[in-house]
């Protein structure tokens, strides 16, 4: 569940699952655009920080970077290969279809949270990168309606939980550096897709997955449940 998207579902159950952190971050930007322009398909590429693997992942990156800078060979226990000054195109185990479980989570959860058909085309490639915190994503949408980039900016600027950072003339765009520690997901680099033309949009997202993709989202789910009465009897007890 992402409360801003499908919070009403809390009325149906007291057992609610937090989504995959990558999915939660991407959908904060994707959902307002789906509502405005409709959507035929989504292609996503992710750039995921070491913190996605918890404290051991962050420690391994920090320690390994120090070893590398001192001329040594970093060890890897958390990741499949040393992460310092490297990218690893694998997060979680590979599935029979060639995608990893992390990539398939994005497909499954995007469909579920947004109320899309079970066969709705969503594809993801997930890559681990040597940053400490905050995941980033390139998202490409094929839309049902023609895209107006100015309107897209207005929609995102007005969306709850989203911060529009889209001023390329002044080199302003989303980055892990600026998204870290922020509740809102940064969205920028909005442009019409060269592949889908007027019926496509591409953009870049950065969000603190320890907040929007984990702890903060869980708190917001709890608040949603209290507000709609789902936790009323429990609160009294």
- Residue 184 inside a domain? The answer is yes
- Residue 219 inside a domain? The answer is no
Residue 161 burial (10 A CB sphere; 0-12, 13-18, 19+): buried
For residue 114, give the CATH number of its domain: 3.30.360.10
pLDDT of residue 216: 80
From the list 166, 164, 193, the residue with the least C-alpha distance to 40 is 193
pLDDT of residue 93: 97
- Encode pLDDT of 61-109 as tens digits: 999 999 999 999 999 999 999 999 999 999 999 999 999 999 999 999 9
- Residue 232 inside a domain? The answer is no
Q: Is the dihedral of CA 19, 117, 30, 125 positive or negative?
A: positive
Helix (H, G, I), strand (E, B) or coil at 231: coil
**Which residues constitute the domain of residue 138?**
21-49+87-209
- Residue 123 inside a domain? The answer is yes
- Residue 177 inside a domain? The answer is yes
pLDDT confidence band for 237 (50 / 70 / 90): very low
168 CB neighbour count, 10 Å cutoff: 11
Q: Which residues are catalytic?
A: 21, 135
Percent of the chain exceeding pLDDT 90 equals 79
Question: What tokens appear for 145 in the block?
Answer: 């309606």
From the list 84, 82, 78, 51, the residue with the least C-alpha distance to 65 is 84
- Residue 223 inside a domain? The answer is no
pTM metric for this prediction:
0.90
Instruction: Give the number of domains in the chain.
Output: 1
pLDDT of residue 236 exceeding 90: no
Contact 141, 199 (CB under 8 A): no
The runs of H, that is alpha helices, within the chain are 3-6, 21-37, 54-69, 101-114, 149-158, 176-179, 216-227, 232-236
- Residue 34 inside a domain? The answer is yes
- Residue 156 inside a domain? The answer is yes
- Encode pLDDT of 134-183 as tens digits: 999 999 999 999 999 999 999 999 999 999 999 999 999 999 999 999 99
């Amino acid at each position: 569940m992402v409360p801003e998207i499908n919070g009403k579902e809390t009325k149906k159950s007291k057992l609610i699952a937090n989504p995959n952190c990558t999915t939660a971050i991407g959908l904060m930007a994707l959902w307002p655009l789906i509502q405005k322009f409709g959507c035929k398909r989504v292609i996503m590429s992710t750039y995921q920080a070491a913190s996605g693997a918890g404290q051991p992942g962050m420690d391994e990156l920090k320690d390994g970077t120090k070893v590398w800078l001192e001329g040594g060979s970093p060890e890897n226990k958390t990741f499949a290969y040393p992460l310092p000054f490297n990218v690893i195109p694998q997060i979680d185990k590979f599935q029979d279809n060639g995608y990893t479980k992390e990539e398939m989570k994005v497909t499954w959860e995007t469909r579920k949270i947004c109320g899309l058909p079970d066969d709705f085309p969503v594809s993801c490639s997930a890559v681990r990168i040597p940053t400490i915190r905050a995941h980033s994503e390139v998202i490409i949408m094929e839309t049902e309606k023609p895209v107006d980039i100015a309107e897209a900016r207005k929609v995102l600027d007005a969306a709850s939980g989203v911060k529009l950072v889209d001023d390329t003339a002044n080199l302003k765009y989303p980055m892990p550096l600026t998204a870290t520690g922020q509740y809102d997901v940064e969205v920028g680099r909005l442009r019409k897709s060269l592949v889908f033309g007027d019926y496509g949009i591409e953009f870049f997202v950065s969000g603190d997955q320890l907040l929007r993709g984990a702890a903060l989202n869980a708190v917001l789910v709890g608040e949603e449940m209290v507000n709609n009465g789902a936790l009323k009897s429990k609160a009294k007890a």
